[in-house]
Amino acid sequence: MMNTFPIYEVVLTSFNSALRDYLKAHGIRRSMLPAVLGFNNTTNPSKLLRRFDEVCKGLNADMDLVERFRNSELGTPEILRLLNDLFECVRLRNEQNRFLDECVDVIEFVPHLHAVHEHTRPSHPFFHIAWYGIDTFKLAALPDVILDLPEGEARLTAVADFCKLVCTHPDYTLLRGNSFGSLMQLLYRDTYTHAYVYSVADKKFVGEYHGVPPSYVATLRF
């Protein structure tokens, strides 16, 4: 995978080099780090060192550990500056990755139905969701015969008829009622940032939704 944020590697190398030089100059071995950070009675030094390694990669803003780091002898002005730069690089890289992911989602977007249930959180363990796949509970693909229709009233009518089918056909049993509760609405996402809202109770479109629905959406009210 192409490195889309190379400055992270530069800052990471600089930080680890400065930290390594300090540890070497002061004779601090890896096994001594828990005590240096103020964990004198830790029962799991290996776990603590893994947390420390994650902090040193900017991958875990463990506030307690970061604060101990800052207040320990390791917290020299140079090392702390590089640590702050490292966290900032990770933040910017994550923002960039989210933007790139959204660009891919927009490019690959295909109109579909997004289910809205009575609960935003599943009542069953998450492995139940993982076993079937979240799409089974939240998404319904539109038939090609509908996607081939031009945008407008004809397609909207066809989608409404398909919504009625989804509400009764056994193929969509898991979508209608699952660990998120009963199906309340179907969002016909005609574009990435817009949807028509089909009410299961009213058996018709009742409004519009602007934006991108989250993975777990609450019931919309109009």
Domain ends where: 74, 106, 138?
Answer: 106
Q: Domain ends where: 106, 134, 156? A: 106
- The predicted-structure confidence for 26-83, as pLDDT tens digits, reads as follows 999 999 999 999 988 777 889 889 989 988 888 877 888 889 989 999 999 999 999 9
Does this model's pTM top 0.85? My answer is: no
How far apart (Å, rounded) are the C-alpha atoms in residues 171 and 147? 20
In a domain, 58, yes or no: yes
The answer to whether 55 and 62 are in contact (CB under 8 A) is yes
- Grade residue 153 by pLDDT with cuts at 50, 70 and 90: very high
Number of domains observed in the structure of the chain: 2
Residue 76 resides in a domain: yes
In-domain check, residue 217: no
Contacts of 40 (CB under 8 A, 6+ apart): 34
Residue 157 pLDDT exceeds 60: yes
* Whether residues 96 and 170 fall in one domain: no
The predicted model gives 154-173 an average pLDDT of 93
DSSP per-residue letters across 164-192: HHHTT-GGGHHHHEETTEEEEEEEEEEET
pLDDT in tens, 110-151: 999 999 888 666 655 554 454 444 545 688 999 999 999 998
What mean pLDDT do residues 189-208 have? 95
2 domain-assigned: no
Measured CA to CA, the distance from residue 68 to residue 79 in angstroms comes to: 14
Together in a domain, 199 and 150: yes
Please check whether residues 81 and 136 belong to one and the same domain: no
Secondary structure of residue 76 in the 3-state scheme: coil
Helix (H, G, I), strand (E, B) or coil at 199: strand
In percent, how much of the chain has pLDDT > 70? 84
- Domain span holding position 101: 7-106
pLDDT confidence of residue 124: 58
Would the pLDDT of 216 be above 90? Answer: no
Could you tell me if residue 11 is inside a domain? yes
Tell me, yes or no, whether 24 and 43 share the same domain. yes
